[in-house]
Amino acid sequence: MSSSPLPSPLVAIKLVPLGHATSMDQVAAALNEAAVTSDVAPPPCVGDFMSSAPTRVRGMAAMVLGYADGGSLADVMRSAYSRRKPLTPAVAMHFATQLALALKHVHDAGYAHLDLKPANVLLASAQAGMVASSARWKAANRLGRQQAVVKLSDFGVAAVAPGPGEPRLTGLAGSPPYMAPEMLSGAGYGREADVFSFGVLLYELLAGGVRPFPGTTLETAGRAILTRRPAALPPHVPRELAAIVKAMLRKDPAARPTFADILVSPPFAAA
């Protein structure tokens, strides 16, 4: 009687060189990332860690992560737009709905992610993590991307979200084009900042790579986010979907929907 060996899990290893201030900041972020992800007890739509903390290996801090074989949402967007084939609303909503579920899970666990952007949204095929999946899954170039499993990653700056009546978070976190206005203004922020970032990301998916606010630096993007209104989405975007994206991008954090609200809205409930 013969038996076949079970496929071995594939992992990704994050290496951070030790020895200078920037690296120590990265190590602190990695420690925070491991602690938050472990506490969140991730479902399939949140990037999973195989180890609870970085291990020192030959002058580097090493962290073993779950493997996602489809690259990132940034890769998908870059490939689509370079071929002048923007993602359809249906494909965009396939990614967005899973991401909203992941962020709701993070918020329900008491955290705010605070660094949402396409590069931090990883994609995995159904075979991810197994040696048996031979060739690298080309999420950016095949129709298989419509079956991609979203993995929210990079919890390095995630923080415990304030509850009602508690002091708001302060300081800048994340990437300028995705920062919420209340973070940029110094007014203090919480979970609502993730909703704004999600709105920027979804707008970008639907608008062929164009973000709702121009600029890439803290100065240029920050000024636009604080002072400008987003342009209307392209006419091919369904009206109800455009309306929920507009609600996510409101300047007033209290006026934005929660992820629970977003997931029961018609565009997401039907996705």
Q: Which of 61, 48, 53, 54 is nearest to 11 (CA)?
A: 48
Report the C-alpha dihedral over residues 95, 153, 35, 56, rounded to 10 degrees. Answer: 160
Annotated catalytic residue 115: yes
Q: Which is catalytic among the residues 115, 154, 194, 261?
A: 115
116: left (phi over 0), alpha (psi -120 to 50) or beta: beta
Task: Encode burial over 129-157: b for 16+ CB neighbours within 10 A, e otherwise.
Answer: bbeebeeebebbeeeebeebebbbbbbbb
With beta carbons less than 8 A apart as the criterion, state whether 51 and 34 touch: yes
Query: Amino acid identity of 99?
Result: L
Which residues are the active-site residues? 115
